[in-house]
Amino acid sequence: MSTFSDFEPPVFNNLTSAIRALAMDAVEKAKSGHPGAPLGMAEIAEVLWNHHLHHNPGNPAWPNRDRFVLSNGHGSMLIYALLHLTGYDLSIEDLKQFRQLHSRTPGHPEHGYTPGVETTTGPLGQGITNAVGMALAEKLLANEFNRPNHEIVDHHTYAFLGDGCLMEGVSHEACSLAGTWGLGKLIAFWDDNGISIDGHVEGWFTDDTPGRFEAYGWQVIRNINGHDPEAIHKALDMAKADKNRPSLLCCRTRIGMGSPNKAGTHDVHGAPLGDAEIAAARPHIGWNFPPFEIPREVYEVWDAKTKGAQWESEWQRKFDHYAAAHPALAAEFKRRMAGDLPADWAAQVQEVLTKTNDKAETVATRKASQIAIEAYAPRLPEMLGGSADLTGSNLTNWSGSKSVSREGKGNYIHYGVREFGMAAIMNGIALHGGFIPYGGTFLVFSDYLRNGLRMSALMKQRVIYVLTHDSIGLGEDGPTHQPVEHVASMRLIPNLDVWRPCDSFETAAAWGAALTRQGDNSGPAVLALSRQNLPFVKRDAAVQANVARGGYVLSDAANPRAVIIATGSEVDLALKAQAQLAEAGVAVRVVSMPCVDVFERQDQAWRDSVLPRGVVRVAVEAGVTTGWYKYVGLEGAVVGLDRFGESAPAGQLFKEFGFTVDNVVKTVQSVL
């Protein structure tokens, strides 16, 4: 484990001292924050941002900009200081509002809050994993769109990360893949300061990190003095020269450098320095200005607006020549980077739905999903699929799938057994632009990727999760593999659409809805799909159109005395129970609710028309019952499963746990 004692202290200058002062002052004003990383990484940041990073503060969405990810996101004042100093639309008043309500400078970098912040990096490890996804997107797009003498996709992805990111297992999952894929334009800076919140890390982090990354296939540049600009420059030049391997720059730093009494200790990691220490730090770093005051001459050196505008202008000239030579490719590139769908997309979705309805196939919804992918993917070349080592079970591939290779070719990613890495890489791909990523695993293994899924929702990214084997219908693999609480728990995540379709038509509609989410409604979707075959349900045209509303009347009756609400494989039970009750003279309406989240976004009139007030309700779903009481109330009932499953054939399990027509009928009768 490194210490800083091997190195001479830095020669402080106004460029790096401006970062340190802003970080100290903002954290102190907020009485909250993490000053250690901004102070310790100031030289690394200055070298990268002033001498290597290609970006345009006047247009943070320039497609060919270098991407920068602060994976150690607790050091957020570092990126806020950099954005402010280089000329982004982030004022000194914004910095003064650090960590305050509705500010543009929240406690951790949040995508969509602050111009220039590429991704949300609160949970450690996910930032570097997002960066892997961004670098992969760049490589795939370059292979797809670049032509001889027309390189319109050509940029780097840079990431800062700390010991915490490296301790999190997701960094292993992603960085292993980055080496396999040969992501030569991915450059990561390890802030090797030997400190985490609990103190010196020798007691809990003694990994051979450089050796680990060399084993992944990275170029590793060791023992860089993170406070020596020339050493950092040299290392960056070496990193950029290697086109075939991602690079890890191991930068030895002293956390809180510039704080005369707290540098090198965990005291500076996650707490304000205090007025007395800041007063002592100012002359120590040669900074003699009041809080939040930056001299004009410092701004002039940092300002990147002129350079950025020139870089973008040069790229635009290249793109104009490209468009003249390859007009169709240029138009497609612009559409995809804007996140737009084809102009006739609604008609294309309807065409897929019509064909699905005409075929009326009785298949497992995981197979129906594959059929839907086969229909949509040729129409949307931006669909970038994959699976966490379960392709043959998730059925996420299609006839046009080609495995992503080290050469940057392909449209299907074999993630290996890396569910969390898959989720966070997909977020990075989506954030980069140009692709709609989707990835598969078993629904029960969503536990492994849960936080990445949450980040998809928080950042409103169009990422599609194909989660198969959705219930005790999995059968013989037993309770370890049978999800009972997963669908209900994912419905609690804001902005996540959870679809559990009952047949091939609802599955195709769910795919259409997930692909269509964009703009203000943008966000991820989960498709919870069955292992077992589910019967096709006939619908007239009016009913077909209602599937997109998330919940609709699938089969009605005159003057119904009860409503049965069902999802997925249990819709067939509801329909059969309806028929049996009708024979007994009891009229019942059946409502299919493939997506509770979408149903909740409908207006009150629609919801009341589907679930009329005053009519008793019974919900049926092979999972925990808790969430359904919102719809059935105290007077209704839920046929569900509030325990773990068992190992047995699926048919036996459904019977064992009461998912039978007779039990649904009995339950309806009990509440009438």
- Report residue 4's pLDDT band, with 50, 70 and 90 as the boundaries: very low
CATH architecture of 344-528: 3-Layer(aba) Sandwich (3.40)
For residue 444, pLDDT over 70 is answered with: yes
Q: What is the pLDDT of residue 244?
A: 98
Contacts of residue 53, defined as CB under 8 A and 6 or more positions apart, other chains included, come to 66, 68, 158
Taking only Cα atoms into account, the Rg of the chain, rounded to an integer number of angstroms, comes to 28
Cα–Cα nearest to 253, from 427, 43, 395: 43
For residue 3, pLDDT over 80 is answered with: no
Whole-angstrom distance, CA of residue 107 vs CA of residue 98:
7
For residue 439, pLDDT over 80 is answered with: yes
Residues annotated in a binding site for substrate: 34, 269, 366, 393, 469, 477, 481, 531
DSSP string, 265-282: SGGGTSS---HHHHHHHH
- Helix runs in 565-657, H state only: 570-583, 596-600, 604-610, 629-632, 650-656
For residue 277, pLDDT over 90 is answered with: yes
List pLDDT tens digits, range 612-670.
Answer: 999 999 999 999 999 999 999 999 999 999 999 999 999 999 999 999 999 999 999 99
Q: Look-up: residue for tokens 């007009």? A: 327
Higher local confidence (pLDDT), 520 or 374: 374
Q: What is the pLDDT of residue 10?
A: 83
Q: What is the pLDDT of residue 327?
A: 98
Residues annotated in a binding site: 34, 74, 122-124, 163-164, 193, 195, 269, 366, 393, 445, 469, 477, 481, 531
Residues annotated in a binding site for thiamine diphosphate: 74, 122-124, 164, 193, 269, 445
CATH among 1.20.1050.140, 3.30.210.10, 3.40.50.970, 3.30.160.60 for 14-308 = 3.40.50.970
Q: Write out the catalytic residue numbers.
A: 419
- Per mean pLDDT, which range of 4-8, 219-223, 311-315 is the poorest? 4-8
Backbone angles phi, psi at 657, to 5 degrees: -100, 15
Cα–Cα nearest to 322, from 310, 330, 334, 314: 330
List pLDDT tens digits, range 155-195.
Answer: 999 999 999 999 999 999 999 999 999 999 999 999 999 99
Q: What is the mean pLDDT of residues 459-484?
A: 97
CATH architecture of 549-671: 3-Layer(aba) Sandwich (3.40)
Q: What is the mean pLDDT of residues 25-29?
A: 98
Q: How many CB atoms lie within 10 A of CB 391?
A: 18
DSSP string, 49-75: HHHT----TT-TT-TTPPEEEESSGGG
List pLDDT tens digits, range 118-146.
Answer: 999 999 999 999 999 999 999 999 999 99
Q: What is the pLDDT of residue 512?
A: 98
Cα–Cα nearest to 433, from 180, 57, 133, 183: 133
pTM value > 0.95: yes
**Average pLDDT, rounded, for the chain:** 97
The pair of three-digit structure tokens given for residue 296, joined into one six-digit string: 């004009």
How far is the first Cα of the chain from the last one, in angstroms, to the nearest whole number?
70
Q: What is the mean pLDDT of residues 362-387?
A: 98
The pair of three-digit structure tokens given for residue 214, joined into one six-digit string: 């060399």
For residue 6, pLDDT over 70 is answered with: no
Q: What is the pLDDT of residue 21?
A: 98
CA angle centred on 129, ends 124 and 131, rounded to 5°: 115
Q: What is the pLDDT of residue 1?
A: 39
Q: What is the pLDDT of residue 11?
A: 84
For residue 7, pLDDT over 70 is answered with: no
Numbered ranges of CATH 3.40.50.920 in the chain: 549-671
Numbered ranges of CATH 3.40.50.970 in the chain: 14-308, 344-528
Backbone angles phi, psi at 179, to 5 degrees: -70, -45
- Report residue 332's pLDDT band, with 50, 70 and 90 as the boundaries: very high
Residues 437 and 411: beta-carbon distance below 8 Å:
no
Residues 552 and 580: beta-carbon distance below 8 Å:
no
Strands (E), 54-166: 67-70, 157-161
| β-strands 247-252, 525-529 pairing | unpaired
Cα–Cα nearest to 566, from 582, 579, 581, 577: 577
